Structure 1
């Protein structure tokens, strides 16, 4: 049996649940680890959708919880202010929605000199030119100063969307959080805090992901929404996008598992478990679990397991 789906063994899933899947003896292949030509073709479309839907959801919560319309839709109507942390696939698409709805947008990014060119992939030049937008430089060599720049602007933020994950170059020993729980008090009551990365207490101390599409919680008077599978809010759109991306790989697998893995390194590198053994080294190390190389179980497999780079990083 073959399980081909989003699995995220390296994220919030408990080791015991990984073991339950492994012990079934099936071959599990993770969408998010299929890499081709330095891209993640099955993760990136959902990341792009995630950014857009998180921005829409944050704006809806702002209306419901703070009574703020959000965008500057009418003359002299004050726009809400949003901060987006990270401008990768998730962040850029969140920024697009916020700009198109005429919010003021602050963007925390470590490469501000290339920000406009990266955003232009998703945002029309006319909209970018008219946007009320500020880039906030995140300097990994000066995390304290970078966090100070974020902290100084929190009081202006009606919405914060974190779309970045922590790199190895920014360990918690050097930078525990970009925004601490205590700093939420700088934001006005009923402002909105979202983490779009499905990571718990990673860069935002108060953010913990949830399987619920509707669950919110309040900390220091700030509304939190951190759904870990938000594309499910738009099932028609997400199904169409994902089907178009996955179908070529499904065709390969339909021709036989061994042949597909022997001829396709991106698929082989995404195998998480096979014949009762955990095979994905990165996930195993992160979870402190034993693993066996897929090459030892299937010598013909064209295994390549690169470091995951799907989400934006700070």
Structure 2
């Protein structure tokens, strides 16, 4: 198969979807890999490393899309890429269709096969291609939240870990999944007083067993959230419904309950956000203030630490890329139910329920796409 890796052009997206090690594995199986010039530069991988591994460097993004049967990316295509995607071309990347109606309609129109990292799902309901970036984003949520709590950044002026004789800061985490767990670990390690909420009692029991003493678990409901945000210095939104919009757990009216300078970090913003007032921002302009509450809503947080993020992501994606390249998408998805669940839009048809529901589109039978 002919694979193409374009340079990411979303604002401040510094990751790349393939490492030289991944290229070497693909070339060993007889595949051709085209990498756009400087695609890996910001992640610490030079063109010479890719060519030494067996890739061919192409100057422009147009050439990559034109030659490739399969495009491997990190982030969803942006508007300038829509017209480059061809009918029947396989595009393997994070799509997050439920947060972008224009992207959804553009991919339907393209006739491409859109296989989304974020909905590849194992039998145990875990999301193997979302986990590594969720781990990065969860840890970064505390790092960034702590920074924006500083007074020059319009925060409360609170040091999360406190100092002897001074109380430590309070962190509220909504969601006990991968993002929430990693955020709680980081916040607890800094010495903050942490509350983590989830709707699952079983998950709360698990977290209670593994977390240090400065982490408290509380059942998530509207009343408990309203009470907790009154005292929180930092609130992390870490809710995920695979492939669908995140529910709004904090509404605009609830901001009035927060103290001025409280910081909210909505990691779920790429799925619509679980804080109603959040809208996607960039690393270039990451925050805005509403009702004296500082909002950090960067949709590609791991892009700020591209070396770590690229290695973590490609460690997880490469086995799936190899299956798709070796077998073709139809056979690979037939033989591997995990990959099959990653199919969102196929040849103009929406085949993933969360996407259809988000935009009131007709859901097609997935099996029809294999004929």
Q: What TM-score bracket applies, with the shorter chain setting the length?
A: 0.7 to 0.9
Shift of the 215–17 alpha-carbon distance from structure 1 to 2, 3 Å rule, reads same
Given that 2:96 and 2:271 are in contact with CA atoms closer than 8 Å, whether structure 1 keeps it comes out as no
The Cα offsets for residues 206-225 of structure 1, whole Å up to 9 and x where unpaired, read as 22233555321111111111
Given that 2:258 and 2:293 are in contact with CA atoms closer than 8 Å, whether structure 1 keeps it comes out as yes
1-side partners of 2:333 and 2:272: how far apart?
36
Secondary structure at the counterpart of residue 4 of structure 1:
strand
Counterpart of 2:142 (choices 35, 55, 62) is 55
2-side partners of 1:107 and 1:183: how far apart?
18
Q: How does 1:134-145 map to 2 (within 5 A)?
A: 134-138=216-220
Q: Where do 5+ consecutive residues of structure 2 fail to align?
A: 1-88
TM-score w.r.t. the length of structure 1 is 0.78
TM-score w.r.t. the length of structure 2 is 0.67
Alignment correspondent of 2:229: 154
TM-superposed CA distance for 1:113, in Å, is: 6.4
Alignment correspondent of 1:115: 204
Alignment of 1:268 with 2:357, yes or no, is no
Alignment of 1:46 with 2:133, yes or no, is yes
2-side partners of 1:6 and 1:184: how far apart?
31
TM-superposed CA distance for 1:137, in Å, is: 2.3
TM-superposed CA distance for 1:37, in Å, is: 2.1
TM-superposed CA distance for 1:201, in Å, is: 6.9
The Cα offsets for residues 214-260 of structure 1, whole Å up to 9 and x where unpaired, read as 32111111111111221111111111111000010111111131332
Compute the RMSD of aligned alpha carbons.
2.6
Given that 1:62 and 1:192 are in contact with CA atoms closer than 8 Å, whether structure 2 keeps it comes out as yes
2-side partners of 1:256 and 1:201: how far apart?
34
The Cα offsets for residues 52-109 of structure 1, whole Å up to 9 and x where unpaired, read as 111111011112333322213x422331111111111111111111000001112223
- Which structure is richer in relative contact order (CA contacts within 8 A, separation 6 or more)? 1
Q: Which segment drifts farther, 76-85 or 283-292?
A: 283-292
Secondary structure at the counterpart of residue 83 of structure 1:
strand
Given that 2:238 and 2:266 are in contact with CA atoms closer than 8 Å, whether structure 1 keeps it comes out as yes
Shift of the 104–118 alpha-carbon distance from structure 1 to 2, 3 Å rule, reads closer
